[in-house]
Chains A and B, each alone.
Chain A
Amino acid sequence: GESVGLHLPTLSVQEGDNSIINCAYSNSASDYFIWYKQESGKGPQFIIDIRSNMDKRQGQRVTVLLNKTVKHLSLQIAATQPGDSAVYFCAETPSGNQFYFGTGTSLTVIP
């Protein structure tokens, strides 16, 4: 089966600092990657995505980096805020039909 894993299960950062959340994936055929944010008691919320033909994509305060050589994905959050505290999941899909999610990293922002 698919395997999408995260390097760190928990991450604590000071408010205002930058956060980096990492993700490793195993399927070389995956061509689309997504980061989701899940707050307690809610469903995951789309943050940002990237296609395999790109190595970097920026959004509002977030940047996703993709290194296909080592099958590594990262999410960078600039100027982390208390509202960023949540569990972050990476997901991959080789086909656009089935999506494979990692275990998640719990981000805690310290005021």
Chain B
Amino acid sequence: GAGVSQSPSNKVTEKGKDVELRCDPISGHTALYWYRQSLGQGLEFLIYFQGNSAPDKSGLPSDRFSAERTGGSVSTLTIQRTQQEDSAVYLCASSLGLGYYEQYFGPGTRLTVT
């Protein structure tokens, strides 16, 4: 079946602009996760959703970052007033639910802030 999809695959934006990154999880997966991966680094946990709610937003790097999920499916990660240090690959993953530890990752969105 279809896996996790993310769009766009690549995004180049100018410093100060806002960007929206989209994640389509696997159908039926109620848990959704966002991570950031800088070049040559591990994954930095940003936020997770169970259904439409995000119980813990403390992983978001700053208040320029926000995420939402509607209808228990698609999620968007928004970065306002982008900075060069925001350049990274943003990965989305989904799982059957909290407590189901196997996460399925999308291919990521490569964000470049110039």
Contacts and interface: CB of A to CB of B under 8 A. Distances in A.
Interface of A: 4, 32, 34, 41-46, 49, 89, 91, 93, 96-104
A103 B41 contact: yes
B105 A96 contact: no
> Interface extent on B, as a size class?
20 to 34
A99 B99 contact: no
Chain B facing A: main interface SS: loop
Given A96-B101, A97-B55, A98-B48, A43 B91 contact: yes
Interface in B29-86: 33, 35, 40-45, 48, 55-56, 59
Nearest to A36: B105
Nearest to B33: A99
Given A43-B108, A44-B91, A100 B101 contact: no
B42 A104 contact: yes
B101 A34 contact: yes
A49 B101 contact: yes
Interface centre among A43, A96, A97, A99 (most CB of B within 10 A): A43
Contact of A44 (B56, B98, B105): B105
Given A43-B105, A49-B101, A96-B98, A89 B33 contact: no
Contact of B101 (A42, A89, A93, A102): A93
Contacts of A44: 43, 91, 93, 105
A66 to B, nearest CB: 14
Given A43-B91, A43-B93, A101-B42, A96 B99 contact: yes
